[in-house]
Structure formats: structure tokens, C-alpha cells
Amino acid sequence: MASATAEFGIDVLARYKPIALDPASPKLSAEQKADLLSNISLLLDTIVYFTASGAARGDTIPEVCILEAFFKHSSEKYMPVIYDESGHRVTTQYLLSLTPGVAFSSGRLGHLWSFVNGVALAHPEKTLFMLGSDGSQQEGDDAEAARLAVAQGLNVKLLLDDNDVTIAGHPSEYLRGYSLLKTLEGHGLKTIVAQGEDIDELYAAVCTAVTTEGPAAVVVKRKMAPGIKGLEGSTHADDVIPVKKAVEYLQSKGYDQAVSKLEAITPNSLAYLYSGSGSEKFANRVVFGEAVCKVLEPLSKEEAKRRVLVIDSDLAGSTGLSVIAKNHPEVFLASGIMERGNFTAAAGFGATKDKVGVFSTFSAFCEMIISEITMARLNFANVLCHFSHSGVDEMADNTCHFGLNTFFADNGLVDGDTTRLYFPADANQMRATVSKVFWDQGIRLVISTGAKVPLIFKEGTQEPYYGAGYEFTPSKDDFIRTGKVGYVVCYGEMVYRALDAVDRLRAEGVDVGLVNKSTLNVVDEAATRIYGSGPFVLVVESLNQKTGLGSKMGTWLLERQLTPKYKYIGTTKEGCGGLGEQIFHQGLDAQSVMKAVRSLQPFRLHRTASTPKHEAAYHQHLTEVLYHSTTVTVQPYNRTTVQQITGKRCPVPAEPEPGASNEIFFGPAVRLVTCSKSSTKKGMAAAESQWEPTKEISGHDDQGVVAGDVEDLERDGHANFNRLGWKRLTVVLLVEAIALGALSIPSAFATLGMVPGVITTVGLGFVAIYTSYIVGQVKLKFPHVAHYADAGRLIAGKFGYELIGAMFSLQLIFLVGSHCLTGTIAFLKITESSTCSLVFGVISAVILLLLALPPSFADVAILGYIDFVSIIGAIGITVIATGLTRGDMPAQADWSAWPKENTSFTDGFIAISNIVFAYSFAVCQFSFMDEMHTPKDFVKSIWALGLIEIVIYTVTGSLIYAFVGKDVESPALLSAGPLMAKIAFGVALPVIFISGSINGTVVGRYLHGRMYKDSIVRFINTKQGWLTWILFITVITVIAWVIAEAIPFFSDLLSISSALFISGFTFYFPAIFWFMLLKEGKWNATKMNILLSLVNVAVFLIGMIVLVGGTYSSIVDIKDQYSSGAVRGAFTCAPIGSE
């Protein structure tokens, strides 16, 4: 019966024979030998078949089969893992899923023995096995590992493939004197030599090693790729197996199905015509060697040998040094796989001023010589390092060979450091770079990729940018394209990809520029000032996003007070396998670069002069759309359809997850519009023809801005709105929070009673602290959230944005109205004038308007100190005054621990709503945090504010209620007696108007920023900015005054505001945020999740109860107050009601 691998081409599982061998019996029986040889042959055939397009290094299959048989015999004695430190050797790596016991491959040569020693120390009762080779054992790590293993008597057994072949040649020739056997014996290791293709001898040797106490090694002598005609014993076997040779081998073994499958394989094509660069590609890693030869040409052989040493680490063919070896053998030294020693030798050679040591290896191995680079720098050595195979492009060896952390080499001190990192964009720049920097002093890294790159062209031509007459200037950035809306900064193999993206965007009218920063670690001050002053900077690179240029560029810009929108993209993921697929997998292809640019450079559609025939239908159905050759952005998200002009319909995805991109990709050169199902093709085509994309920011005369000033104005605007620290935030929150709320607490206590009042005040206070913490966490997780409406978009898309935006605006306007009403009451009380109350209402509104004009919260914080002193003073006067006059109060003024008799549902809920109002600071928290320079410090402000509020509200409410009794008025200042009430109101005037004005500023900032989101007008530092800002504040204040006149009694105005809006901002919205935005995993995934889920459900229910009960009670009480004539009518001169 066929097994699961029958369709593979070789039915491995059906033919593999599980056998069990006891190492205590070093001689194989005839049956055991036959089965073992059968397994060896089967797996070797499978490797030849499976890796015909991969590496086929020295064969270790006999050792693997023997160890697998040991595991089957007595698994309790062994760690059932066969460790392999011979790099990315796929001889066993590709069998990991098929062969029991093969479960580990180290990735890099000679990096694993020390690790295995650690495993042995953790499991002293187990025997461990590690495969290796004469190549991997050249690495210095293994010498250290050998000494530790011998010293500690670790039960580690090494099976080392000694085939005398590495990538560049034969160790017996280029590393004369090196003997694997003598090296291991020198460390004190028990070592046995065996012929790898003599199964009896090999088996006996392995048994001896296993039964030996402590570490032991079997040196297995064999030719490379045994039994494969044309490859056996050749260095070519260290590379890919040609399909032709694999076919010949498999045909000789009778694997016709495998041969058919192998011959049917065709390479994947990732054809793409890049704009701005040539069609022919060049291997910069080879060009490096050619460029060095060009530098050496003028020198005699004697002088070249005296002044230059080029030392190879077994990668000459891959890093371009083979060109030097061929043309200038007098300077070339073939060495082994010893990067640390070879680099340091090159540094030692270059330790005098007129000499240069040249060293080369893969970029991945730069990490191995960081300490040696430091030592070379301290000794003022002159080393030219070529690190090839940088990044991820066409890196079939995958993550272990990605060259990602080259910036690690840039670790010298700023003072006098001459370390330079150069990454040329094409072959011409590589030649110019090597020619210019070859004889420079210090350590210079010249970087290239394994993949070939094309020549970069000048704009609109096929003339090489780095053509005739070009001379490389170290530390100079090159403007490949100049632009006005922002710059892409890149280097190396990403230049031609980014250039394609930039040229395509420019063809669409997006005037974006491109900078080739070929000197990676030095700031070009003039160039940085140019692109850093633009609207955005995007760094594109294939190095590690965490350690590459992008991680540094932002700091460089900020140090120079340059604040463009900033983004950087680089390698972030483990490899996906393959060649060209790696770039796409990392999101570094040209289309991804275009997407990144668009995320930084928003666009909008504008109406042209003519009016479309189908205007009404167009306005009804056409959503705001940005269309380009490949992208359409739809706002708001909905389930309309996107219709091509050809008539084909494409469904728009449903609302994305919070924070997800809103970009929908289609094929190139497809123009798209958004329409409803009822729209006709003809009508939509007519409407579409009247719209065109336009840039977000430009110099517009109607803004009072001249072209060229925009960047400065935008930068100054950002700077003005990012000055808030946690201490100032606390003050601003105190200003916004401890004002009218404190004045309503005593009256609430009188309704609820002392005990319920204190419990409610303290309990709701801690709930408010928790929900404000949730709000802050949302801001930290989604930094783009500038106000509560933005958070609404995260949980409910466009609908959530509009709904919460409306609630946000109305709540703040209600707050301004409350302060306007309180100001009117204060003036009437202080003056005891018969002047119409409408006059004092207007005066209060004007004061609120004037104080709301400063647009920055940092400026308002300065007034906050006055505000805080004011409210504390007013409360203190009221408490003292009511305490002193307590003896004059009638007997019925005594306070009660419990609710007063006949307290209605309406009265109780209004009281609770007034306490809720006192904890309304969360409504403005997003806005305030958006101005913080260190947003994570918000927690300090929340705790400080929350605890201060709880103390003030509890003490104020309980004392004034205790002193005045059940007849305490709202606002509480009215209960201080005629004279003291005047004094208290006089002292409270600053808090009444400063706290009220800050709410006007917040809502003004939201509405103004929304109106002018795509314009520098939003920064309020231009003529039009200030005019529109004053207009917004004026309109807001007028609306607030109207509300104050329409509901002219204090408690009910606070209550209805609390019920309708604060119930959401302080309670149920934060609960929803936790469930939708912050919760990790399912609600019951962990004990903490269960606890927090219950807490947030409770918070949500509190919000719902306040919303329903508070709204009902407020409406009933307002109706009753008007019906009973307890207060004056709206917009009259009659006295104002407090209750």
C-alpha cells in the first residue's frame, strides 16, 4: 500500500526500514547491515532528488541512519536530536520532516558545539550527538567548545565529516598543517578515525565513541558527494546539484517518476519592468573585485604585495575576491573559515599608514567580528571590508544568512571615528566608491547584495546617473529625483526598487523625491536639511528595521529640529524561502514602497470648475475617493461597490480591524470610482470625469501663505502643540475637572445621605481612574488618535467617528454652557443688582470666549495654577463659612446618614448624575495626551488627579452637607451666607471662567482641526488660521450661551449632560475599548482576562444605568421645574434657579 510520500516521486516512508541497534554490540549482523545500507541508499537518493536545486555538501546519511537506530533501541539514554553545525547543510536539513531524530540545524558554520555543551550540562544523564565537518571545525568557537567539553567530561559525541572540501577549495591545500584529527586530540578529545563508506568500520567507530565516557569524536573520511558521477570529491558538490547530473543519477537507480517530476519543474518568474533603471543587471559583489583590480593596476607586483593584502574566508567566488586572486595573485591569501582571525590579520597588515588590509565575507557574518573591529579601530588599522549578500534579496539560505545588522560595525565613539559604511546603488557607483575610498584611513565597509542590480538612470532618460564624469564623494547624499511633497531615502539594492515607485508616483502627479544615501552612517547636513524640511521622509532599506538606517534617521532629523512625517520600512520577518520572493515577503517591493508613500502623503479629491450633469446622484452616492494607477482609498468604509468604467463590479471589503489600512489594491492602470448599485455606468462616468486628485498641502493665496513657507509653518505648528508634560497635564486636568463638579457635590449628599454619598463619590472616583487608564492605553496603542472621535472610528468606523464626534462636541459645549450659567449666577450674587440676568449671561459668554482664544493647552496650563487656587479658595471659604454659621441654622438643617424622606427616583438619579459629572475628565483626555511630549507619563497624571478629586469631593461634600444640612444649595457657594457667598463667588470667578474656557478650546480644536485637516490652517499660525479659529470659538460660545439660557437651573443642566454624554465617555466607551482594542486573546483565556472582563462589563452597565436613568430623571425634573414656576422662563430677565 502506498504511503503518504508516494506522490513525492520516491516513496520514502514505504521503503524506509526502522531498525534498532545497540552500541554495546559493535559488529553488525548481515540482516542489520543490509537494512542499514538500504536506508542509507534510500535517503541519499532522496537528497539528490530533493536538493537538485539546493546544496549537496559532504554526505552524512550513514551517520544519521546509525544514530536513528540507536534512538530506536534505547531512547531513554539519548537526547533524540541530531544536532548539525555544518551551516545550512541541507543534506539533513531537508529531511527534518521525514527522518526520526533529525530535528536541528544550526544555520551558521561552527556555531553549535558550545550550545550542545549547554544542553549536555542541563541533561547529564543523556548522550548527545552533533554532526560537523572539517569546514565547521575551522571556526574558533569550536576550539573553546572542545576545551569545555573535555574539562567537564560532557557526554557529547561528535561525528565529523572530513571530506577535504569547502566552498573555495581543499583545506589540505589552502590551510596547510590543519588536521582535524590532531586538532581534536590536542584538546584532549578521544578521537576515532573511520572510512565513511565502509559501513562496518564506521559503525564500529560510532559504537566506540558512544561507549566511551565523556566527549568523543569520530572523524569520518570520505569524498564529497559519494557515488554521484561528475561531483564526487569536487568543490562543485558544495554548491547546487545540476538537474542534469541529478537526472542521470536517479535514472541509474530506476526512479523514473522522480525524474519526470524533476524535469517538469520550471523556475518561477517574477518578471517586472522597473522604471528609471536599466534592463541589464550587474553583480556588485563581483564588481567590487574588479574595482580593486583597477586600483591595483598602476602598481607594480612588488609594490602591490608590499602595500595590499587581500585575505579570503573561503568565499572568494561569492564575494568577488576570486577576480583579485586571478589577476593579482601576489596580494591574495586564501585562508579558511576563520572570519575573526582573518579580519584581525587584515587589520594587522593595515596597521601602518601606507598599507591596506582587504577582508571579505557575507554580511550576515559581520556580527561575528564586532569585537575585532573595535580592536582594529583602537589600533588605527586601515581595513577595507567587503560585506556581500546584504539584506534578503535572493537569499535562498534564508534567515540564518540574511545580512541585516551591518550597522553593528558602526560602534566607534563619535570623537574622531573614521569608520564608514558604504552601500553603492549600482555597478558604476560601486566602481567609483572603491576607487575613491580604497586608500582612505580607518575601517571602511563596502556593502553589496547577492542579487544583481541594474544601473540607475537620470530622470526621463537612459543615461546612467553614475555615468561618465561621476566621482564618488564620501558622506554625500545623492538626489536621484527632487520633489516637493516628500522624500524617499534609501541605498543599495533598494534604490532601483524605490526609484520605480517614485517614478510611477511622479507620473501620477505626486511630486515625491528620491535620495540615495550611499554613505549610511554619516549625516550629510545640507541634504538632510533639504529633505528633512519637506512634508515627509520615508526610509526604505532591506537591513533589520530595528537596527538599520531608519532607526537612526528619525533621531538625526529631530536633533536638527526637522519634524517631517516620518516612517521607515525594512526587514521585519523570518525568511519565506526562495529567491526574489524574499523582497515581496518583507514588503519591500516597489508597490509596497508606493503604499508607504501614500500613507504619509494623504490626498483628497476636489471639484473642478464645471458641474456634472448628475450632481444630485453624484453627491448621494460618491464617497470621497482617492484613485491612482494601482490604489483606491475609500472613506468612509461601507458596502458600496467599486465599479470600473468598463462596468465590472468589485466588492469593497467590510470595515477593517481597528488600525488597519484602508487601502484596496487593484491592477495597474484601472481608474476606479465608488458608486451604489443604482448608479448607472453613464452617470458615474460623467461624474468621475469632473474629479481629479490634488495634493494635500501647497502654497495657497487664500491662506496667506506663500510657496516655500509651508514646511516652516507646519513644523512650527507641530512644535507649538507638543509641549505638555505630565505635571502640566495634571494641572490642565484639574482645571477641566475640579470646577463645577465640586460645587454640586454637597447638594447630591443632601439627597443621597452622607453614607451613600461618600460611597458613591469614592467608588465612582476609582472607576473613573480605571476608565481613564483604559483611555490612555488606547492612546498609547493608537498614537494617531487625537480625540475621542478618532477612538470612535476604531470601534465603529465612520459611524463611530461621527456619533462620538457629535457627542464629544455637544458634551463640551454643554460644559461651556454650564460655566456660562454659573458665571451669571455669580455676577447676580456678587452685585445683588436688578440688572437683567441676560446681561450677565452675555458678559459671562464674552469672558469665556476671550479666555478660549489661546489654542495650545500648554498655554492654558499656566492659567491653571490660578484656576486651582481659585477653586480651593472658594471651597475653603464655603466650608469655613458654613461651619461658622452652623449654630445659626434651624434645627431641621441637621444632616442625615441616609437619604432624606420621600426622596424620589428622579431626585436620586439627578444627585448621582451630578457626582458622575464631577468625574468627567476622560472626555478631554485624548486631546490633552495628544499634546504630551511623553504620552506614557499620563498614568502619573491620572492617579494624581483621581486621588485629589476623591479627597476634595468627599471632604467638600460631607463637610458642607454636615454644616448646612438638607437645605444645602447647588452650587454650594450659595449656602455660605449672604456676605461669604459673595466673597466665595468672587474667589471662584477664575475657576468658573478658566475651566469653562478650556472646554471651549478643546471642542474648538477638534472642530477646527476636522475642518482643516488637510491644510496648514489647522496649526493656527497663519492669518486665515487665526481668523477661522476666532470664528469657531465665537460660534461655540454663542451656542453654549443659548443652552445656558434654555436650561437656567444648575443641577439639571449638569445632570442631563452627565446622563447623555459623560455616561459614555467615562464609563461604557472605555469598557468597549477594552473589549475591542486592548483585550489580548479570548475573554476567558486567562484569569486576568476573566477578571478584567467582569470589571469592564460592570463598568459598561454603570454607564448604561446612568444614561437611561439620568436622562429620564433630568427630563422629568426640567419639566416639573418649568411647570411649577420654580425657575424663570428661558431667555428672560427673571432670577435664575439653582436647583
The arithmetic mean of pLDDT across residues 1099-1124, rounded, is: 85
Structure confidence at residue 866 (pLDDT): 80
* SS3 track for 854-915: CCCHHHHHHHHHHHHHHHHHHHHHHHHHHHHCHHHCCHHHCCCCCCCCCCCHHHHHHHHHHH
Structure confidence at residue 876 (pLDDT): 86
Query: How would residue 211 be classed by pLDDT, with cut points 50, 70 and 90?
Result: very high
Query: How would residue 673 be classed by pLDDT, with cut points 50, 70 and 90?
Result: very low
- Statement: residue 170 has pLDDT above 60: yes
Query: How would residue 212 be classed by pLDDT, with cut points 50, 70 and 90?
Result: very high
Q: In whole angstroms, what is the distance from residue 777 CA to residue 784 CA?
A: 13
Query: How would residue 419 be classed by pLDDT, with cut points 50, 70 and 90?
Result: very high
Instruction: Tell me which H or E stretch contains 515.
Output: strand 513-516
- Statement: residue 641 has pLDDT above 60: no
- Statement: residue 664 has pLDDT above 50: no
Asked which of 266-270, 630-634, 1011-1015, 1053-1057 is least confident by mean pLDDT, the reply is 630-634
Q: What is the pLDDT of residues 450-492, one digit of tens each?
A: 999 999 999 989 999 999 999 999 999 999 999 989 999 999 9
CA distances from 694 to 236, 808, 970, 1016, 1019 (A): 58, 31, 55, 15, 21
Structure confidence at residue 98 (pLDDT): 40
Q: In whole angstroms, what is the distance from residue 829 CA to residue 982 CA?
A: 6
The arithmetic mean of pLDDT across residues 799-827, rounded, is: 86
Query: How would residue 1131 be classed by pLDDT, with cut points 50, 70 and 90?
Result: low
Structure confidence at residue 473 (pLDDT): 96
Q: In whole angstroms, what is the distance from residue 583 CA to residue 609 CA?
A: 44
The arithmetic mean of pLDDT across residues 872-890, rounded, is: 76
- Statement: residue 630 has pLDDT above 80: no
Structure confidence at residue 592 (pLDDT): 92
Q: In whole angstroms, what is the distance from residue 419 CA to residue 735 CA?
A: 53
Q: What is the pLDDT of residues 967-996, one digit of tens each?
A: 787 777 777 777 888 888 888 888 888 878
Question: Residues near 879 by Cβ (< 8 Å), separated by ≥ 6?
Answer: 955, 956, 959, 960, 963
All structural domains of the chain: 78-237 (3.40.50.970), 277-600 (3.40.50.970), 722-1062 (1.10.4160.10)
Q: What is the pLDDT of residues 360-405, one digit of tens each?
A: 999 999 999 999 999 999 999 999 999 999 999 988 777 788 988 9
Handedness of CA 986, 988, 991, 997 (dihedral sign): negative
Structure confidence at residue 410 (pLDDT): 95
- Statement: residue 1118 has pLDDT above 80: no
Q: What is the pLDDT of residues 721-757, one digit of tens each?
A: 455 677 777 777 776 666 656 777 888 898 899 999 9
Structure confidence at residue 227 (pLDDT): 59
SS3 847: helix
Structure confidence at residue 718 (pLDDT): 43
- Residues listed for the chain: 1139
Q: What is the pLDDT of residues 554-598, one digit of tens each?
A: 999 999 999 999 999 999 988 887 777 889 889 999 999 999 999
Structure confidence at residue 90 (pLDDT): 42
> Cis omega before residue 636 (within 30°)?
yes
The arithmetic mean of pLDDT across residues 288-315, rounded, is: 96
pLDDT top residue among 561 and 669: 561
Structure confidence at residue 1132 (pLDDT): 65
pLDDT top residue among 207 and 580: 207
Secondary structure percentages of the chain, helix, strand, coil, to 5: 55, 15, 35
Query: How many CB atoms neighbour CB 312 within 10 A?
Result: 25
Structure confidence at residue 884 (pLDDT): 79
Give the mean pLDDT of the chain.
79
Query: How would residue 99 be classed by pLDDT, with cut points 50, 70 and 90?
Result: very low
Query: How would residue 1129 be classed by pLDDT, with cut points 50, 70 and 90?
Result: low
pLDDT top residue among 262 and 457: 457
Structure confidence at residue 950 (pLDDT): 92
**Cell triple for 599:** 500613507
**Cell triple for 467:** 555615468
Closest by CA to 632, choosing from 549, 569, 693, is 693
**Cell triple for 363:** 554580511
pLDDT top residue among 915 and 329: 329
CA distances from 64 to 54, 71, 195, 253, 660 (A): 20, 11, 15, 21, 48
CA dihedral 298, 280, 364, 143 (to 10 degrees): -60
Phi, psi of 410 (to 5 degrees): -90, 65
The arithmetic mean of pLDDT across residues 1105-1132, rounded, is: 76
* SS3 track for 167-190: CCCCHHHHCCCCCHHHHHHHCCCE
The arithmetic mean of pLDDT across residues 885-901, rounded, is: 68
**Cell triple for 883:** 461651619
Classify residue 1065 by its DSSP letter.
I
Query: How would residue 665 be classed by pLDDT, with cut points 50, 70 and 90?
Result: very low
The arithmetic mean of pLDDT across residues 418-431, rounded, is: 97
Phi, psi of 216 (to 5 degrees): -150, 155
- The helix-helix angle for 740-752 and 1050-1057 (nearest 10°) equals 100
